[in-house]
Amino acid sequence: MTYALAWKTKRSVFLAADTAITTTGDDVDKLDIEVSSFGRKHFLEIQKGKKVEERVVKVFSSNNVGIIFAGSHSHARQIASDVFIEIENGKTAKEALQVAIFKTIVPPQFPVQLAIGYYDSEPKIIFFDSSQGGIIQENLDEIQMGNPPRDFQNETKRWLVDIETGVRETRAQLVALLGILQSFNLLNDTLRMGIGGICTGLTIDKDGCDWQPDILFIEYGNVEKHVGTCFRNDCLVVNSPIIGQSRCFASTFLPLTSPVLMGKVKKAINKASILKATMEYEYVVILSHKNNSLTILEMRRNTKHDLLWFESLKDSDATKIYFFPKLKKILNEKNSHNGLTYIQYEEPSIKFIPEENRTHERIIDYNE
């Protein structure tokens, strides 16, 4: 199962998804890597023949069109590849999808949900679910795929309203969305449901597709975990000191030979290693278990960093994050009752990034 989301505002389409993939069959006997980038144990249950691993990018782009999917990876990949070919041959997104789903037979036991985001005078989303026949839904504002828990879906709908009204810049909106989806993975045991791993996404507007900016995720608990994500050479590169290595997920449909593909991956990792060494991430997302909070920082060089968002997770309910869109006003009203009374939160002291030879030191100080 996947958690994938397509959403649009007046200016842009947003596509985001996790990277977990579930496989079934008698050949499932081990996990290639035991844990995800954040150190969560991958899931293996021999009796049901299921294996869940963080290993697949489920967001693709070509010719200023983005595609996101849930369900059978092989069938979705073929449909998406055919869609891109048909669009390149001059068809509209809907026409291309009609041709693609006609060419690819999707068995009932391997269903596919697929959404296409594009810009045609305005942001647009169309959606196909193989379990509903060949029907293509149009003019959607938001669609959540992969059968996530109902409370996740309901909370996400409310969050999208808050993001649109509380964060103006498109890239910052995408980061806020990815931070929220990542909090699902880290504050709930979602890998057992087939949801998890690093979340990734892109935006589409009148200027085309734009992959997510460089993000450093910090899981702040008994032991801090720093996980960096970036896109280089059509690859999602995840720097994870937790597992002692970088993970690179190719996101291209090009028919590359193995040596060429390995070359692209190597270049992507080399470029990402420079980012890791300099710590020049555009955004920092802090998920705090101690404060039960989600904090998003825009890292501005040689100036004050901008605290974009602060969220609080109520202690008595481990599945809901309560949003406070008017962040700066709330933080400035230190003596008022602003809904933050049940946690002990102090505004973090931010050290500048990048900083020479300090990549292993803490960059967030919660004034403990």
User: Could you count the other beta carbons within 10 Å of the beta carbon of residue 326?
Assistant: 13
Q: Which of 100, 7, 110, 19 is nearest to 58 (CA)?
A: 19
The angle formed by the CA atoms of residues 70, 76 and 79, to the nearest 5 degrees, is 140
pTM comes to: 0.82
Is 360's pLDDT higher than 60? no
Reported as a single tens digit per residue, the pLDDT across 240-291 is 988 888 889 888 877 778 888 888 888 999 998 888 877 778 888 878 766 6
Mean pLDDT score across all residues of the chain: 78
Reported as a single tens digit per residue, the pLDDT across 11-36 is 999 999 999 988 765 555 667 788 99
Question: Mean per-residue pLDDT for 198-211?
Answer: 95
- The helix (run of H) or strand (run of E) holding residue 329 is helix 327-332
Exposed e or buried b for every residue in 1-16, given b needs 16+ CB within 10 A?
bbbbbbbbbeebbbbb
Cβ atoms of residues 197 and 37 within 8 Å = yes
Reported as a single tens digit per residue, the pLDDT across 121-178 is 999 999 999 998 889 999 999 999 997 888 888 878 888 988 888 787 899 899 989 9
Reported as a single tens digit per residue, the pLDDT across 311-350 is 443 333 333 333 333 334 444 444 444 333 323 333 334 3
In whole angstroms, give the CA distance from residue 78 to residue 67.
12
In whole angstroms, give the CA distance from residue 144 to residue 121.
24
In whole angstroms, give the CA distance from residue 318 to residue 184.
10
Residue 28: per-residue pLDDT: 56
pLDDT confidence band for 364 (50 / 70 / 90): very low
Residue 49: per-residue pLDDT: 72
Is 87's pLDDT higher than 90? yes
Residue 339: per-residue pLDDT: 36
Cα-flanking dihedrals φ and ψ of residue 288, to 5°?
-105, 120
Is 310's pLDDT higher than 50? no
